[in-house]
């Protein structure tokens, strides 16, 4: 009897369709229409992406506000070898991005040619997908704003 | 947001409404709201079956069905998992079982299952107790109209042609009647049960 | 409060256990743990396990492993889709409720059939984050840069943590990464996900562990020097990365406070830091003094990271050192979720 370990491919797929509720729904509606929303907390600061409840006080949040389509890289990591399901098949940076008008950051991809072009605090702007449906990937990613434009 | 606010909310206070009305920015006034989003998950594994199931699957390639015996109670489990739930211990012996047995219970499926176009309704799924086994396992009753299947009916395995055999339980295409007299089941309460006190 | 102690512990960790199913490799561990204190399953007042269906690629995968306990006739049993340390917490609470004086706890994970770092993307927010599939290394790398550029830690310090884990792991037969490496050799490694290097990452393993808990006099009968649980607490930070301060761990600090870590000296600490960055944050959050406390004498999760068991293994490693008299007071820690999102802290003492 062979001692070789038997093996077989096993692929799990969950074709989830999730209800959004009014807050996440508004954010995704915005993405479809080329608008990015945050939500205002009692102290006036803005969470982006928006959440239904304040993470510190558990107060329900209801006031969705538009934030900017450019912002600042809070932190980043260079992804030299993208994994199969990730947003881009060439090396890119993962980043937490704080958009103008928001006080918290969102995770997304930054399309930079190399790690040398990335830095904390750099300015980036959204790159929209042409076909949009109300999904986080309606944002294809972010791209660096050349310094000459920010100056 | 690093402030340390461990006791920010009174845990005894009534929870706030789960979906308070929201206000939208001007840019979204009148927009058709998105209410659901498709976020499929796909994960690829390379499954390895372990010792007992590997033995079972290799034997399948030779048209043999292996079970395993519980050392404490003598009961024989199929498919084998390497462990006896009665003893909470590794099984003690590999047992070769006949490819004949009887239908302990069954159902008839009349609606198709997505992604299984090979299963044409109506078809009969049965819990089949092999000769020499203490518990039943799942199979399809074939070569017979589903309405004619009955509890106690004797069946035998219908194997794939030899040239198509693999290390797979799919080698058994289904189970067909042997024509022998039915197994006489006197105690229906016992169906589907195993008990620690069994021999 | 009922005094409860860890009285038995077994473990197995290997880079990949491809020839055995989960229940096949857990049965000997379960039997050995119970036999080491002369107990069988029928002696157990309660049984609780921790595992994950997403690792197994199979819904309700844990029920197959319960067969290994001997659940016929049915036993008093529960399961958490969490590290086994949380199963131990549930068992501890169950004993506090009264009526039983023993409990059996186990945790296991066989992540080698899939790609663990990618599977862990599914623990992220399902609307905003998971659809982008950031793997667990990428997410930790974001926290690592914040820590490095914010001056919270240096690359050398991270390399020192990695070198210490490798050195300690040399005497741990269950470690899967124990080749010694100097700090300079580690600093010379190429980045995997800049700023993380290979030695900053967990050494992924398959395996599991089993623990027996006993209360009061029962513990004293079963074990010469029981490892008494003097405090235990678990806390969670917010789920959304963007609202958290990733350069500290509020939940680990609070759990340590409530478990009473600072009430006395700590001889040794077994911390479940999957990354060097996480170990650094934990030492700070738990307020440990590295001069007086042996940190991760087993090598920790950097030396062998068995998803769903590494936390319970920390408790077992700490307890077995108390049995042996290597220390009188130990801290064990378990984590779950991205960037130390949830943390459990357990204080163990010998008489």
Tell me the domains of chain A and their CATH numbers: 21-150 (2.40.50.840)
Distance in angstroms (rounded) separating the CA atoms of residues C286 and C274: 16
The per-residue pLDDT for range C111-147, each reduced to its tens digit, is: 999 999 999 999 999 999 999 999 999 999 999 999 9
Q: Residues C217, C250: one domain?
A: no
Contact C110, C206 (CB under 8 A): yes
Show residues of chain C in contact with A109, CB under 8 Å. Answer: 132
Query: What's the number of domains chain C is made of?
Result: 3
User: With an 8 Å Cβ cutoff, is A9 touching chain C?
Assistant: no
Q: Residues C160, C281: one domain?
A: no
Show residues of chain C in contact with B81, CB under 8 Å. Answer: 21, 23-24, 64, 67
Closest CA to C68 of C20, C104, C27, C22: C27
Q: Residues C103, C217: one domain?
A: yes
Res C56 pLDDT > 90: no
Position B11 in a domain: no
Q: Residues C267, C334: one domain?
A: yes
Q: Residues C339, C234: one domain?
A: yes
Position B179 in a domain: yes
Contact A119, C195 (CB under 8 A): no
DSSP lists the bridge partners of residue B184 as none
Q: Residues C268, C319: one domain?
A: yes
Contact C333, C347 (CB under 8 A): no
**Torsion of the alpha carbons at C238, C241, C242 and C247, rounded to the nearest 10:** 90
Contact C344, C311 (CB under 8 A): yes
- DSSP sequence for C248-259: S-HHHHHHHHHH
Q: What is the mean pLDDT of residues B55-76?
A: 96
Q: Residues C71, C218: one domain?
A: yes
Q: Residues C211, C238: one domain?
A: no
Position B29 in a domain: no
| pTM recorded for the entire structure | 0.94
Are the Cβ atoms of C113 and B49 closer than 8 angstroms?
no
Position C123 in a domain: no
Query: What's the number of domains chain B is made of?
Result: 1
How far CA C207 is from CA of A126, B73, C203, C274, C322, in Å, comes to 44, 29, 12, 16, 23
Contact A98, A108 (CB under 8 A): no
Any idea how long chain C is?
A: 351
User: With an 8 Å Cβ cutoff, is C137 touching chain B?
Assistant: no
Q: What is the mean pLDDT of residues C45-55?
A: 94
Res B6 pLDDT > 60: no
Q: Residues C53, C140: one domain?
A: no
DSSP lists the bridge partners of residue B171 as none
Q: Residues C208, C107: one domain?
A: yes
Q: Residues C330, C270: one domain?
A: yes
User: With an 8 Å Cβ cutoff, is B37 touching chain C?
Assistant: yes
Q: How many CA atoms lie within 13 A of B129 on its CB side?
A: 22
Show residues of chain B in contact with C15, CB under 8 Å. Answer: none
Instruction: Give the distance, in angstroms, between the CA of residue A113 and the centroid of all CA atoms in the same chain.
Output: 19
What is the per-residue pLDDT for B18? 56
Residue C142: which domain range? Answer: 134-200
Residue B112: which domain range? Answer: 51-190
User: With an 8 Å Cβ cutoff, is A57 touching chain C?
Assistant: no
Q: What is the CATH number of the domain that holds C91?
A: 3.40.47.10
The per-residue pLDDT for range B143-155, each reduced to its tens digit, is: 999 999 999 999 9
C-alpha distance from A150 to closest chain C C-alpha (Å): 23
Numbered residues of chain B with Cβ closer than 8 Å to any chain A Cβ: 1, 3, 5, 8-9, 16-17, 19-28, 31-49, 53-55, 57-58, 167
Chain C, nearest residue to A115 by Cα: C194
Lowest mean pLDDT among A78-92, B9-23, C136-150, C220-234: B9-23
Q: Residues C139, C217: one domain?
A: no
Task: Please identify which residue in the block is written with the tokens 């076909």.
Answer: A131
């Amino acid at each position: 009897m062979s001692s070789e370990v038997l093996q077989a491919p096993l692929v799990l797929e969950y074709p989830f369709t999730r209800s959004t509720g009014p807050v996440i729904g508004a954010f995704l509606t915005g993405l479809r229409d080329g608008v990015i929303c945050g939500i205002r907390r009692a102290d006036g600061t803005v969470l982006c992406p928006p959440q239904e409840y304040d993470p510190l006080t558990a107060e329900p949040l209801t006031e969705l506000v538009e934030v900017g389509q450019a912002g600042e890289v809070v932190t980043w990591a260079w992804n030299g070898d993208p994994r199969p399901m990730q947003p881009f098949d060439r090396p890119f940076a993962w980043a937490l991005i704080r958009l103008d008008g928001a006080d918290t950051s969102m995770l997304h991809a930054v399309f930079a040619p190399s790690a040398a072009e990335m830095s904390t605090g750099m300015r980036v702007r959204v790159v929209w997908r042409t076909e949009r449906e109300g999904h986080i990937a309606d944002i294809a990613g972010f791209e660096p704003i050349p310094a000459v434009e920010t100056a | 947001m690093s402030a340390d606010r461990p006791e920010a909310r009174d845990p005894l206070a009534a929870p706030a409404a789960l979906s308070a009305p929201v206000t939208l920015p001007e840019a979204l006034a009148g927009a058709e709201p998105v209410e659901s989003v498709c976020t499929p998950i796909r994960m690829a594994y390379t499954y390895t079956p372990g010792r007992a199931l590997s033995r079972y699957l290799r034997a399948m390639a030779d048209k043999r069905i292996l079970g395993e015996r519980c050392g404490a109670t003598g009961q024989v489990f199929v498919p084998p998992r390497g462990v006896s739930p009665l003893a909470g211990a590794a099984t003690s012996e590999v047992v070769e079982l006949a490819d004949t047995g009887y239908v302990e219970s069954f159902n008839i499926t009349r609606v198709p299952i997505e992604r299984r176009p090979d299963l044409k309704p109506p078809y009969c799924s049965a819990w089949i107790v092999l000769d020499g086994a203490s518990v039943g396992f799942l199979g399809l009753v074939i070569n017979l109209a589903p309405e004619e299947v009955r509890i106690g009916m004797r069946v035998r395995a219908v194997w794939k042609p030899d040239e198509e055999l693999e290390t797979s339980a799919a080698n058994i295409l289904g189970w067909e009647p042997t024509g022998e007299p039915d197994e006489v089941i006197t105690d229906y309460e016992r169906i589907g049960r195993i008990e620690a006190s069994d021999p | 409060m009922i005094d409860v102690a860890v009285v038995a512990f077994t473990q197995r960790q290997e880079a990949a256990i491809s020839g055995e199913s989960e229940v096949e490799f857990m049965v000997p561990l379960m039997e050995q743990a119970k036999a080491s204190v002369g107990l069988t399953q029928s002696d157990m007042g309660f049984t609780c396990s921790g595992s994950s269906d997403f690792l197994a690629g199979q819904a309700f995968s844990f029920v197959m492993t319960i067969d290994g306990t001997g659940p016929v006739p049915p036993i008093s049993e529960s399961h958490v889709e969490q590290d086994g340390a949380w199963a131990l917490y549930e068992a501890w609470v169950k004993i506090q409720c009264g009526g039983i004086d023993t409990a059996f706890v186990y945790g296991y994970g066989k992540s080698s059939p899939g790609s663990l770092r990618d599977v862990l993307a599914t623990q992220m927010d399902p609307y905003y984050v998971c659809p982008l599939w950031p793997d667990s290394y990428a997410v930790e790398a974001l926290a690592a840069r914040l820590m490095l550029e914010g001056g919270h830690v240096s690359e050398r310090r991270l390399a020192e943590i990695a070198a210490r884990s490798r050195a300690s792991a040399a005497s741990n037969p269950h470690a899967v990464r124990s080749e010694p490496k100097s700090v300079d050799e580690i600093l010379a490694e190429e980045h995997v996900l800049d700023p993380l290097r290979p030695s900053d990452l967990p050494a992924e393993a398959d395996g599991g562990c089993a623990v027996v808990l006993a209360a009061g006099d029962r513990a004293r009968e079963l074990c010469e020097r029981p490892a008494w649980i003097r405090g235990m607490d678990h806390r969670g930070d917010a789920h959304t990365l963007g609202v958290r301060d990733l350069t500290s761990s509020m939940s680990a600090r609070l759990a340590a406070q409530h478990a009473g870590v600072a009430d006395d000296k700590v001889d040794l600490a077994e911390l479940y830091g999957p990354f060097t960055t996480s170990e650094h944050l934990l030492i700070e959050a738990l307020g440990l003094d590295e001069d007086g406390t042996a940190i991760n004498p087993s090598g920790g999760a950097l030396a062998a990271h068995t998803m769903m068991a590494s936390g319970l293994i920390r408790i077992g490693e700490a307890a077995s050192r108390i049995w042996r008299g290597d220390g009188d007071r130990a801290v064990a820690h378990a984590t779950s979720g991205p960037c130390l999102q949830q943390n459990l802290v357990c204080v163990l003492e010998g008489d």
